[in-house]
Amino acid sequence: MTFLRRYPLMLIGLLAGTLVTWFVTNTMFAGSAEKMTATATWQNILLVNALVGVCILLFVVELRRGAIRVLLTVIVALLLGFLVTFVFNLDAADRFTRGEFRVQVISDAAPVAGDTVDLEYNKRRGGEFNKPNVVAPVSEVAWTFAGSEGDVVSLLAYAKNRRSTVDVRVELRDAAGTTLAAATSATELQVEETFDDLVSARDAVIEGYTLPEAGVYTLYATPEEVDLGTTLSEAMSQSQLAFEALLLGPIERVNRWGVWIMDAITLILLGLSFAIVFRAQQFSLGAEGQLYFGALVSGIIALNSPHIPGVLLIPVIILASGTAGFIYGLVPGALKAYLGANELVSTLMLNVIATRFFEMVLNFQLKPPEAGYVASAKFTENAILPVIVQGTQVTVAVFLLVVVVFITWLLMRRTPLGYEIRIIGSNLRFADYGGVNSKRTIMLVMAIGGIVAGLAGMHLANGVHRQLILNISFALAFEGVVVALLARLNVLVVPFTGLLYAYLRAGAQFMERDANVSLEVVRMIQAIIILLITAEALVTFFQQRQKRADIDAKGHAVDSLEDMAPPAPSPEAARRGE
């Protein structure tokens, strides 16, 4: 019966997975099969994209209606993010008020000689309006020119070239300062034919004005005031540009796609680490420190064994980094289990200690003496994870990841230890009464989380950077929290949420590059996602309906822990055992 009930769900999942695989591949190669087969190692690209599809299938099948909630949360957060981007882009219209410009008085009449004036007929003069980061920026110019009675003059004020987007207006004033004529724009005809210098209709022209008397006149030019409509439409088009880069940027080209997949591998590993630990209701944030230790150990091995063949070395490195993470996870685990030290605070402190230790070893031991900046030597070829897609850093870590996900799933759902972890997570006292050695389990769960985090460090060191650098994690650990939470701590869903989140991160990079919107906007979106996903009251109604439906269908409440709503940690739980 259960299988039949899941059957349509499988179909939806398969459909969604296939669609996404097709869409990603199609966008990458602009829809041409020749272009794809011309790319080296295209079979592996297809394979990875198929794995992406599998992740989506798992997401749909595992979370069922919860999947809708996750998607809705992400969409709402993206909309809010768009709003934030919009607000940050409200100054986009400023580009019309600054830039290099030129002015010119054009006339066929003979120039008046002698006077000390700023402009001569038919000579260009220019400057830059509102130059940024200048003490006294130029915001208007008033330059004089001398004319005789009856001279027919045309006054031009225009952007210097196509790069300058300044939108100017021009006025003709007489000696007393009275405005005789003014213009804010040019006609198509003037731009196309009459005046060669004009670039666009934004430039201002007073054409064919006959000077009433001889004397000194003033050409006054200033950027046009930007009206509200322009401000909003500019901000809108900039935000749209930014979001286009965010949403489609990562799959435009193979190398960008590589950035996405590479980032996703790290994030999925970190997400798994948090999902395991949070399952036992342990609010350990130690993944960052464990990651640093994993990276350090694998880096040291890599640097010290240049002659061992990669086939032997890589497994050793993988094992060693996992062990390093295990040990560094064991410390807060033991402190929590046997001494009752608050794991949140202790892991945060241990993270800093690990970071400092990493910096110290890197700076004083691993850095080549002649290096100008703090980084280790590049790893030799045999210590680098083999690349499977040319032109990217997508490595065999993809397969390692598949194995890790499978083992984690096996551990959590099919072993006594996994059962104990889940029992402790739902009710510590019940676990104690039931004969679970909760102290040992708590310690182990943090250490097991550490293994996966250590592997993430290994991937960063030996797969991504190929050397040890300062700040190797780049505060990725907190992003791992979001990945785990979005997956509702379900290890089979983590790959999907990791891909999703890495997509946003990669998109953020390209958004910054293509649209000059700060990377931090995406971190704000992340904060919004966490707030929304934890706000249980927002979805109580929805969940109640889902539970009722489950009960109706099965005749009993829930058949496994994973079917329940995500553990709603109480404030008491957060403070437990401080």
Partner 1 sequence: MQENVIQGIFSAVFLAAILRVTTPILLPSLGALISEKAGVLNIGLEGMMLSAAFTGVVVSAYSQDWFGAEAGLSIGPWLGLLLGVCVSLLLSFVLALFHLDLKGDLFLSGIALNIFGSSATVAIMFELTGDRGNTSTLASLQMPFIQLPELIAEIPVIGGFFFGVFDNQSVMTWIAFVLVFVVAFVLYRTPFGMHLRAVGENPEAAESVGINVKRIRYTALLISGFFAGLGGIHMSMGYLQLFQRDMTNGRGFIALVTPSLGGGTPVGTMIASSIFGFFDALGIRIGTLEIPSQLPQSIPYFATVMALVIYALQRRISQRVSAMRTASGSTFDAAFWGAIQRISILHMLLMMVAVIGVVTGAAILSAPNGFGGAETAVPAGLLIGGASCLLFLLGLPFVRDIFRIQERWLASAGVTIISLGITLTLFLALFIELALALGVGLLLGAGVWFMIGGRVLMRGQ
Distance CA 244, CA 556 (A): 46
- Report residue 8 as tokens: 């349509």
**The 215-223 sheet, strands edge to edge:** 141-147, 215-223, 168-173, 179-183
Residues in the chain, total: 578
Task: Find tokens 């676990």 and name the residue.
Answer: 431
CB of 80 to partner 1, least distance (A): 12
CB of 395 to partner 1, least distance (A): 28
The three-point CA angle 306-309-315 to 5° equals 100
Measured from the CB atom, is 13 or 480 closer to partner 1?
480
Task: Find tokens 């960008």 and name the residue.
Answer: 256
| Inter-residue contact 57 to 17 (CB < 8 Å) | yes
CB of 314 to partner 1, least distance (A): 24
Measured from the CB atom, is 103 or 350 closer to partner 1?
350
CB of 231 to partner 1, least distance (A): 15
CB of 275 to partner 1, least distance (A): 14
Measured from the CB atom, is 122 or 570 closer to partner 1?
570
Measured from the CB atom, is 142 or 349 closer to partner 1?
349
Phi, psi of 183 (to 5 degrees): -150, 150
Measured from the CB atom, is 261 or 486 closer to partner 1?
486
Secondary structure, 3-state, 86-150: HHHCHHHHHHHHCEEEEEEEEECCCCCCCCCCCECECCEEEEEECCCCCCCCECCEEEEEEECCC
| Inter-residue contact 152 to 210 (CB < 8 Å) | yes
Phi, psi of 39 (to 5 degrees): -75, 140
Measured from the CB atom, is 201 or 361 closer to partner 1?
361
CB of 324 to partner 1, least distance (A): 13
CB of 431 to partner 1, least distance (A): 21
Q: What residue ranges bind partner 1 (CB under 8 A)?
A: 88, 91, 132-133, 283, 335, 339-342, 344-346, 348-350, 352-353, 356-357, 359-361, 363-365, 478, 481, 485, 518, 520-521, 523-524, 526-528, 530-531, 534-538, 540, 568-569, 571-572, 574-575, 578
Measured from the CB atom, is 121 or 283 closer to partner 1?
283
Number of C-beta neighbours around residue 287 at 10 A: 35
CB of 87 to partner 1, least distance (A): 10
Distance CA 298, CA 314 (A): 9
Measured from the CB atom, is 215 or 577 closer to partner 1?
577
Query: DSSP per residue over 229-278, as a string?
Result: HHHHHHHHHHHHHHHHHHHHGGGSSHHHHHHHHHHHHHHHHHHHHHHHHH
Phi, psi of 46 (to 5 degrees): -60, -40
Distance CA 375, CA 461 (A): 11
Phi, psi of 555 (to 5 degrees): 80, -5
Measured from the CB atom, is 51 or 335 closer to partner 1?
335
Kindly list the distances between the CA atom of residue 575 and the CA atoms of 68, 342, 477, 536, in Å, as whole numbers in the listed order: 32, 8, 22, 19
| Inter-residue contact 216 to 146 (CB < 8 Å) | yes
Measured from the CB atom, is 6 or 131 closer to partner 1?
131
CB of 342 to partner 1, least distance (A): 6
Kindly list the distances between the CA atom of residue 441 and the CA atoms of 156, 336, 422, 432, 454, in Å, as whole numbers in the listed order: 80, 11, 10, 11, 20
CB of 423 to partner 1, least distance (A): 20
Measured from the CB atom, is 308 or 341 closer to partner 1?
341
Phi, psi of 147 (to 5 degrees): -140, 155
CB of 407 to partner 1, least distance (A): 27
Measured from the CB atom, is 180 or 232 closer to partner 1?
232
CB of 289 to partner 1, least distance (A): 10
